[in-house]
Amino acid sequence: MKNVLVRYGELTLKGGNRRQFITKLIQNIKFRMKPYNDKVELIKDNNSCMIKVEDDYLDRLLADLQTVFGIYSLSVVETTSWDFEEITKKVLAMAIESAKEAKTFKLEVKRKDKAYPMTSTEMKQKLAPVVLQNTDLKVDVHNPDLKIEVVVKKDHVDIFHSRIKALKGLPVGVSGRGLSLLSGGIDSPVASFLTMKRGMSVDFVHFMTPPHTSPEALNKVFALAKQVAKYNYQTFNLYVVDFGKMLQELNHIPNQTYKITIMRRMFMRIANRIAKRDHQQALITGESLGQVASQTIESMSVINETSKLPILRPVLTNDKEDIIKISKRINTYDISILPFDDVCSMFVPENPVTKPRPWIAEEQEEAIMWEPILDWTVENEVKKFVFHEGEFVEDTNWSKEIEKEEQNPEQATE
Ligand code: ATP
Ligand code: MG
């Protein structure tokens, strides 16, 4: 058996919400460990928890814990009783074990329980010579190769030599739910990931226009949502909207330089309708200020006008290079760069307007029949997929749900 100490980060600062945050974090950790539930045991403490794990499952557990937001750092620890002789033995064993790679060491002792009969300085003064006499390690207090930490707690002592940095952030689920507009590109999966980092559970919506967009383009979207699923809430939904009819209608707007702008406004209107039914509290996009002609502040304002819900743009201020870096870290990059075009990249007019005016956008919309098409699209062209145990399963009751809601609005289920 190995012991993994899981430290909570920011959570400890959050006053009244703290208990709720920790409860959610523990739930999320337990959910991640579910496939090997019988190999682990979780023991709660105040600002941390300890997970006992069978040796063979240690690496898998460590990898899984590094996908859970709200965890600050991890250590594989040796635990002992307060017995000083036992502590000495374990410290020395750890030093000998690590002395193969390290030349210098530093010892750090902390007493979380001051009732321990020795001070931390006394403990250090007794422990360090044992290491020096029995290994080739030298002391280096500034830049040691090996740092052994001894933490005296209420009923036991933790000894460990490394802190594995985890994701930090807040446990997913404590900041409500958002609906992310997921294209097949690089930016929107990163935006979704960053939203999860602040504790928001993320559902997805994708707009496609078959036959202009290929099945491979849609597969990419499923693959991306799956790839970030390990950071996301336990279960979530992906909506796929066939935007074909609306796109045809957009060919009739008089000023074609507004096509992308109007398309985005339609995306937002449809996303708002879905979010209203599925109770998301915000929309999320991968827009970055100035990244392309359609991502100016003027464009964003004209798009915002069509959304009741706040539109979160987590990568707004990031350079493309930074976004790519994150996408590589979360393994979405290789999927995103697969060469299948989505709606936006295929229908960019020659000179998209960079500073759209709201009244001109409205004029364009007045010239076409968008409202009935929008209703039609929401009622007939939306498919809902639920992510469950690693796979997406289509929820075919979705259309029935809509009928029910419309016939008996006051009975609409939560
Ligand atoms: P991305 O890399 O996320 O595709 P991008 O730089 O290609 O972003 P655009 O194509 O201009 O940017 O799209 C801006 C944002 O609009 C996307 O980040 C995404 O949130 C949303 N979006 C664009 N196309 C679609 C689509 N087909 N379905 C859902 N959302 C989309
Ligand atoms: Mg795109």
Closest ligand 1 atom, residue 243 Cα = 27
- Least confident range from 258-262, 300-304, 378-382, 406-410: namely 406-410
pLDDT more than 90, % of the chain = 81
CB-ligand 1 contact for 315 (6 Å cutoff): no
Choosing among 3.40.50.300, 3.40.630.10, 3.30.2130.30, 3.30.390.10, the CATH entry for 2-165 is 3.30.2130.30
Q: Whose CA is nearest to atom 4 of ligand 1?
A: 185
Label residue 47 by pLDDT band (50, 70, 90): confident
Q: Whose CA is nearest to atom 6 of ligand 1?
A: 187
Residue 286 annotated as lining a ligand binding site: yes
Each residue's pLDDT tens digit, 165-199: 999 999 999 999 999 999 999 999 999 999 999 99
Mean pLDDT of 80-92: 95
CA of 184 to the centre of ligand 2 (A): 6
The domain 177-407 belongs to what CATH superfamily?
Answer: HUPs (3.40.50.620)
Q: Where are the domains of the chain?
A: 2-165, 177-407
Residue 206 annotated as lining a ligand binding site: yes
Q: Whose CA is nearest to atom 24 of ligand 1?
A: 183
Each residue's pLDDT tens digit, 241-263: 999 999 999 999 999 999 999 99
Highest mean pLDDT among 12-21, 58-67, 287-296: 58-67
Residue 181 annotated as lining a ligand binding site: yes
Quote the pLDDT of residue 138. 93
Mean pLDDT of 123-150: 94
Quote the pLDDT of residue 16. 73
Give me the chain's average pLDDT, please: 91
Looking up tokens 């359609």 gives 294
Quote the pLDDT of residue 17. 81
Do domains 2-165 and 177-407 share one topology? The answer is no
Closest ligand 1 atom, residue 205 Cα = 29
Label residue 414 by pLDDT band (50, 70, 90): very low
Mutate to test the pocket of ligand 1, among 183, 224, 228 (most ligand atoms within 8 A of CB): 183
Q: What pTM was estimated for this model as a whole?
A: 0.91
Q: What are the residues whose beta carbon lies below 5 Å from ligand 2 (ion)?
A: 183, 185, 344
